[in-house]
Amino acid sequence: MTCFQLITAAGTAKSDYIEALNKAKEGDFEGAQASLDEGDKSYQEGHKVHSTLVQQEASGNPVKVGLLLIHVEDQMMAAEVFRQMVVEMIDLYKRLDGKTSDGQDK
């Protein structure tokens, strides 16, 4: 069950990050930030579950590693990297729109 929680959290986060990028592309920077924040909430939910697995392993109770857990790790990393790229792309859209990186007019 834990793996599916992580996959869901990472997938939801990536979807929210894509939504943020699409909103920025349309010039809706406030909406983009809101979607980015929602994605961060989903990612944090997954991160909490992930931390539980890490703590379990650290306490001497090994976590069984299978294909599903490897997929989870991949999805969590992908969501994190995707977020970083989306933040950079939103900043570029702001610059193209004549705004500073914090959304203020130049």
Q: What are phi and psi of 101, to 5 degrees?
A: -65, -20
Domains of the chain: 2-96 (1.20.58.80)
Classified as helix, coil or strand, 104 is coil
Token output for 3: 């793996």
Residues acting as catalytic residues: 71
Binding residues for Mg(2+): 74
Binding residues: 74
| pLDDT tens by residue, the chain, 106 residues | 588 999 999 999 999 999 999 999 999 999 999 999 999 999 999 999 889 989 999 999 998 889 999 999 999 999 999 999 999 999 999 999 886 666 677 6
pTM (2 decimals)?
Answer: 0.85
d(CA 68, CA 7): 9
